[in-house]
Chain A
Amino acid sequence: METIKVVKTAHYVPSKVVTNDDLSKIMDTSDEWISSRTGIKQRHISIEENTSQLCTNVAEQLLEKSGWDAESIDLLIIATMSPDSYTPATAALVQGNIGAHKALAFDISAACSGFIYGLNVAEKFMVSSGSSCKRVMLIGGEVLSKVIDWTDRTTAVLFGDGAAGVLLEQNEEDSSCFVSSSLHTYGEQGDKLEAGKTDALSSFPTAGDHKIKAFSMSGRDVYKFATHKVPVSIEEAVEKAGLTLDQIDYFVLHQANSRIVTQIAKRLDQSLAKFPMNIAKYGNTSAASVPLLLDELVSNKAIKRGQIIAMSGFGGGLTVGTQIIKY
């Protein structure tokens, strides 16, 4: 167990709200169809603000809440599958925006598991011997609306934009800690969920018309993956921790689909009351969804210091990851 504390949490979503009824005006769908199959009622869509801007807003809130000087951040990680550009990394842009000049900054691309993978990477940085990495800012942020095909009703209704993150600090005196984790990647199933796919040149010289492809997803394969592999990942992490599922106070799961979360609760034989959800308000915000839910639970005091929380992400890669913390 590593004495790493989640010091503060914060989130930011763009102001424009798009309801299911709004979508039913531009594609053949309905509020009833979307909400009964996904639990989603609305999502926030970013106009003008790119991923780095959503993340910068979260970063500024985190600094304000903690009173930390931006210069005291040692590591700044952004988990995203919708970065502003191939380079610079979104994390570098945020580092520059907030003036965290001493922070090493890079992005993690693990889609909807990105925040969990980020926690794991942060932990490794913080506990490696001789490390001077004490303070970490980790944010999951997405502007998925820019890679959605807004004529494809099978994917367009599912996603939303937003960012959320945490400040982590290593503090031997504290009882808060990272308890255990379980991460897996199933690359042979990578083509089941794709977004932003690019093609190599077909000939040279070329007219150079670069195209980036929109979201495509094999719904049933991803559904099956999530309902099978997430319970396994949670059980592995719980076993590694020497805990039982009953000792977990909350399961903070990636908000992809309420039906998936319900099925995971059923497979783990745990009360659905331990699986809080906010997908109705935000849709699937990929790497932002776990910290967005965590921040809401911390803010409304549902999650308290000392509780055991299992956080799980799952999605593109295909990837899955669980991190258990004592909050």
Chain B
Amino acid sequence: MTEQEIFDKVKDIVVEQLDVDADKVKMDSDIKEDLEADSLDVFEIMNELEDELDIKLEADEGVKTIKDVVDYVKKEVDAK
């Protein structure tokens, strides 16, 4: 998967889970500050990514921005 494909996937899930406009979700968006997610929202985003991409993610991996999520997912997908 390319970084763009992963970003699109993350964006879809974030839009669905957080009920935010798609154009608000950018690589440098801070998940908690800019997108107003709390810890359970992050759980749910990680859970959805795990299910859809068949990977295992730790919630406390220190992800802060969308880019952090994309990088972390890319690393796990590439390692599969």
Which residue on B lies nearest to A38, using beta carbons?
A: B40
**Which of A36, A220, A224, A257 is close to B38, meaning CB atoms less than 8 Å apart?**
A36
**Which of A37, A219, A227 is close to B47, meaning CB atoms less than 8 Å apart?**
A227
Judge whether A223 is part of the interface by a CB distance below 8 angstroms: yes
Residues of B within 8 A of A224 (CB): 43, 47
**Interface SS of chain A: helix, strand, loop or mixed?**
helix
Which residue on A lies nearest to B59, using beta carbons?
A: A220
Docked pose: A219 CA to B59 CA in angstroms: 10
**Which of B38, B44, B46 is close to A37, meaning CB atoms less than 8 Å apart?**
B38
Which 4 residue pairs spanning A and B have beta carbons closest together?
A: A220-B59, A220-B43, A223-B43, A224-B47
Judge whether A97 is part of the interface by a CB distance below 8 angstroms: no
Residues of A within 8 A of B46 (CB): 220
Residues of B within 8 A of A227 (CB): 44, 47
B43/A37 in contact, CB under 8 A: no
A window 198-238: CB within 8 A of B: 219-220, 223-224, 227-228
Question: Distance (Å) between the CB of A256 and the closest chain B CB?
Answer: 12
Docked pose: A263 CA to B41 CA in angstroms: 11
Residues of B within 8 A of A36 (CB): 38
**Interface SS of chain B: helix, strand, loop or mixed?**
helix
A window 12-40: CB within 8 A of B: 36-37
Docked pose: A219 CA to B44 CA in angstroms: 12
Residues of B within 8 A of A220 (CB): 43, 46, 59
Residues of B within 8 A of A257 (CB): 40
Judge whether A153 is part of the interface by a CB distance below 8 angstroms: no
Question: Distance (Å) between the CB of B22 and the closest chain A CB?
Answer: 19
Residues of A within 8 A of B2 (CB): none
B window 7-42: CB within 8 A of A: 38-40
A263/B44 in contact, CB under 8 A: yes
Docked pose: A37 CA to B40 CA in angstroms: 7
Which residue on A lies nearest to B50, using beta carbons?
A: A224
Judge whether A146 is part of the interface by a CB distance below 8 angstroms: no
Question: Distance (Å) between the CB of B74 and the closest chain A CB?
Answer: 21
Sample of 7 A–B contacts (CB below 8 Å): A36-B38, A37-B38, A220-B46, A223-B43, A224-B43, A228-B47, A257-B40
Judge whether A259 is part of the interface by a CB distance below 8 angstroms: yes
Question: Distance (Å) between the CB of B27 and the closest chain A CB?
Answer: 24
A window 65-102: CB within 8 A of B: none
Q: Considering residues A37, A224, A228, A257, which has the most beta carbons from chain B within 10 angstroms of its beta carbon?
A: A224
Residues of A within 8 A of B59 (CB): 220
Which residue on A lies nearest to B47, using beta carbons?
A: A224
Question: Distance (Å) between the CB of B59 and the closest chain A CB?
Answer: 5
Docked pose: A259 CA to B42 CA in angstroms: 13
Question: Distance (Å) between the CB of A28 and the closest chain B CB?
Answer: 15
Instruction: Give per-residue flags for A250-271: 1 if the beta carbon is below 8 A from chain B beta carbons, else 0.
Output: 0000000101000100000000
Docked pose: A36 CA to B47 CA in angstroms: 20
Question: Distance (Å) between the CB of A115 and the closest chain B CB?
Answer: 25
